């Protein structure tokens, strides 16, 4: 029998190769276990109808990938045995055509068909009469306007609350560059394009607090452009929306009253609105109920007086590139008073 000469592999290099394969497998399994199978920002811990479908697709693809990878690893080990017979040489050619062209084409076509079949569902519009929420991407925060089917609009920022089990339609716009609206736990992402309105319908299936992010590089503070998402039972949601519709509460504590005075005299109202006061700026986030939000600075700082003070004092350090000027020139007690006032706006 004729022998085909192939580079010989000794026992040690074969063992080394096997160790490499085993190491890569363990590392990738460990990494994927560590990297976000759970948590408020995980697409693999779905809390929405669309996210459930996407997670199913992911797991099917993951299993397929592992099977293909195991087959390839097996073939690699087999190919390293050393000398080959002529018959095996012909088999190898078949394998190249089959494994290199036919099998990948079949697998990718099946995945394409499966993925395309999901799309009508993922891009479906919410039924007539659903709650609509306009979200506008700004550098680098989120302008949010609730448009309930009955009742007046409510404007807020950097936080979205949703009624459990109801389809909600987001109408997405951008005022400057392309952003992308993504709540991984609830569904897929959708680009926000200047001059266009894109739509995304989401249906939360589990109550909880989740995190949304901008998924398209949009400038210096792109990575600091997040928001909180709270899914709550319908009655609780209705009460919350009603509370958001009301004007800002009057401050009662002396320090908060002083803070309101400082807020109104230092020009904050040129950019921010606080309904119920003379502040009616529209450039920056509406602060009418800022004290009740989960976070400040578009999802980057805890909503507590010290963090609010730090934000106002050094916006440029907390969020490099931010358009809000810093107010580090104000006396510390005024900064503390403004922070106390804003925190009181629940």
The residues that touch ligand CUA, with contacts defined as CB under 6 A, are: 137, 140, 179, 214, 216-218, 222, 225
Backbone angles phi, psi at 170, to 5 degrees: -95, 130
| Integer Cα distance of 288 and 26 in angstroms | 51
Give every CB contact of residue 286 below 8 A, 6+ residues apart in sequence: 143, 155, 156, 157, 272, 273, 274, 275
Which residue, 136 or 277, is less far from ligand CUA as judged by CB? Answer: 136
Which residue, 114 or 217, is less far from ligand CUA as judged by CB? Answer: 217
Q: What sign does the dihedral 297-301-302-304 (CA atoms) show?
A: negative
CB of 214 to ligand CUA, least distance (A): 3
CB of 141 to ligand CUA, least distance (A): 9
Strand stretches in 215-275, DSSP E: 226-232
Q: Is the Cβ–Cβ distance between 303 and 311 less than 8 Å? A: no
Structural tokens at position 250: 């009057």
Task: Give me the residue label for tokens 């590089």.
Answer: 217
- C-alpha dihedral (259, 263, 265, 267), degrees to nearest 10: 160
Q: What sign does the dihedral 266-268-269-274 (CA atoms) show?
A: negative
Which residue, 142 or 341, is less far from ligand CUA as judged by CB? Answer: 142
68: number of Cβ within 10 Å: 14
Which residue, 225 or 268, is less far from ligand CUA as judged by CB? Answer: 225
Give every CB contact of residue 202 below 8 A, 6+ residues apart in sequence: 48, 49, 50, 162, 167, 168, 170, 183, 186, 187
Which residue, 98 or 321, is less far from ligand CUA as judged by CB? Answer: 321
Peptide bond into 140 cis (omega under 30): yes
| Integer Cα distance of 33 and 192 in angstroms | 31
CB of 222 to ligand CUA, least distance (A): 4
Q: What sign does the dihedral 227-232-236-238 (CA atoms) show?
A: positive
CB of 144 to ligand CUA, least distance (A): 14
Q: Is the Cβ–Cβ distance between 154 and 245 less than 8 Å? A: yes
CB of 320 to ligand CUA, least distance (A): 14
CB of 215 to ligand CUA, least distance (A): 7
CB of 343 to ligand CUA, least distance (A): 26
Which residue, 177 or 271, is less far from ligand CUA as judged by CB? Answer: 177
CB of 54 to ligand CUA, least distance (A): 20
CB of 172 to ligand CUA, least distance (A): 12
């Amino acid at each position: 029998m004729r022998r085909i000469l192939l580079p010989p592999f000794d026992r040690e290099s074969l063992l080394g190769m096997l160790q490499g394969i085993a190491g890569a497998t363990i590392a990738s399994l460990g990494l994927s276990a560590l990297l976000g199978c759970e948590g408020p920002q995980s697409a693999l811990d779905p809390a929405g109808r669309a996210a459930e479908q996407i997670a199913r697709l992911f797991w099917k693809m993951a299993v397929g990938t592992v099977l293909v990878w195991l087959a390839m690893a097996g073939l690699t080990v087999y190919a390293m045995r050393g000398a080959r017979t002529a018959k095996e040489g012909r088999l190898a050619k078949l394998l190249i055509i089959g494994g290199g062209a036919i099998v990948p084409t079949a697998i990718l076509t099946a995945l394409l068909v499966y993925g395309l079949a999901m799309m009508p569902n993922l891009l479906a519009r919410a039924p007539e009469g659903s709650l609509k929420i306009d979200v506008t991407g700004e550098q680098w925060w989120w302008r949010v306007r609730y448009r309930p089917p009955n009742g007046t609009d409510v404007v807020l920022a950097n936080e979205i609350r949703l009624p459990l089990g109801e389809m909600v339609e987001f109408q997405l716009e951008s005022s400057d560059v392309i952003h992308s609206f993504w709540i991984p736990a609830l569904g897929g992402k959708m680009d926000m394009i200047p001059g266009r309105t894109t739509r995304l319908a989401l249906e939360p299936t589990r109550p909880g607090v989740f995190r949304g992010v901008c998924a398209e590089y949009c400038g210096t503070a792109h990575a600091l452009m997040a928001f909180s998402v709270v899914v709550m039972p319908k009655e609780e949601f209705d009460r919350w929306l009603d509370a958001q519709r009301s004007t800002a509460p009057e401050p009662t504590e002396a320090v908060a009253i002083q803070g309101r005075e400082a807020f109104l005299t230092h020009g904050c109202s040129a950019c921010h609105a606080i309904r119920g006061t003379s502040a009616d700026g529209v450039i920056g986030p509406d602060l009418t109920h800022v004290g009740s939000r989960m976070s400040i600075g578009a999802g980057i700082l805890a909503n507590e007086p010290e963090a609010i003070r730090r934000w106002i004092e050094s916006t440029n350090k907390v969020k490099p590139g931010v358009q809000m000027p810093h107010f580090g020139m104000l006396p510390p007690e005024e900064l503390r008073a403004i922070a106390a006032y804003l925190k009181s706006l629940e």
